[in-house]
Amino acid sequence: MTDEHSLSEHTRNILGLQLPTDPRWVNLAEISLEAILTDHAYCEQKAATTCITLIQRYSRRKELVAALAPIVTEEWGHFRLVLHELHKRGFQLGQQRKDLYVNKLLAFQQQGGDEEGRFLDQLLTMALIEARSCERFKRLSEGLEDAYLRQFYRRFMESEAGHYALFIELAELYIDKEKVRNRWQEWLAYEAEIMQALELRGDRIH
């Protein structure tokens, strides 16, 4: 659904995010590799299961099902890659933590009203999570001292940029583009407030 030009443009512009990650985050992550890889593994796992949930919930939307089915496989493959990296380094997959960032995003979703609004917010939540993940992976790909991990996260960054674009495009496929774009701007402003308020920690992707 997207091309190389749009991908590179999204990446250059940090995907529309209003608040870039504090550069100190990479240094904190580097001294907490076991924790950051554990958290990353669970992020990939949750992305796969969320796509499965969307497919189940909106099974009559054939374009969505066709688009998300391969994403499930890809995200689960990412989980396995991160798990392998953990074990290769002699680390253990730790316990899944409470994801404050995602929980705050979920609180912004439309809860009642029309189905279209709820559907839109579910897609935009996923787009935003993928966009922030992409931005964080970009930081890791540029700032880590470990050359292998820099390349490792470069590949993840490119993948997440494509996923971000896919969720936006799915929203615009089913819903008026102006409505999608207006709501996306509201999401971006809200996400910046979340990032401003959250404690800077190197043991988590978000």
Q: Check: CB of residue 25 under 8 Å from CB of residue 200.
A: yes
- The per-residue pLDDT for range 90-148, each reduced to its tens digit, is 999 999 988 999 999 999 999 988 999 999 999 999 999 999 999 999 999 999 999 99
Choose among 74, 87, 104, 2: nearest CA to 38. 87
- What was the pLDDT predicted at 160? 82
Distance CA 70, CA 48 (A): 10
Please report how the helices 100-108 and 177-197 are oriented relative to each other, as an axis angle in degrees rounded to 10.
140
Choose among 134, 112, 121, 107: nearest CA to 167. 121
- Neighbour-count burial for 141-154, b at 16+ CB within 10 Å, e otherwise: bebbeeeebeebbe
Domains in the chain, CATH or no CATH each? 23-197 (1.20.1260.10)
Choose among 116, 107, 122, 139: nearest CA to 17. 139
In this structure, what are the phi and psi dihedrals at residue 65, rounded to the nearest 5 degrees? -60, -45
Residue 115 makes CB contacts below 8 A (sequence gap 6+) with none
For 68, which DSSP code? H
Is 90 exceeded by the pLDDT of residue 205?
yes
**193 falls in which pLDDT band (50, 70, 90)?**
very high
- The per-residue pLDDT for range 47-77, each reduced to its tens digit, is 999 999 999 999 999 999 999 999 999 999 9
Average pLDDT, the chain: 91
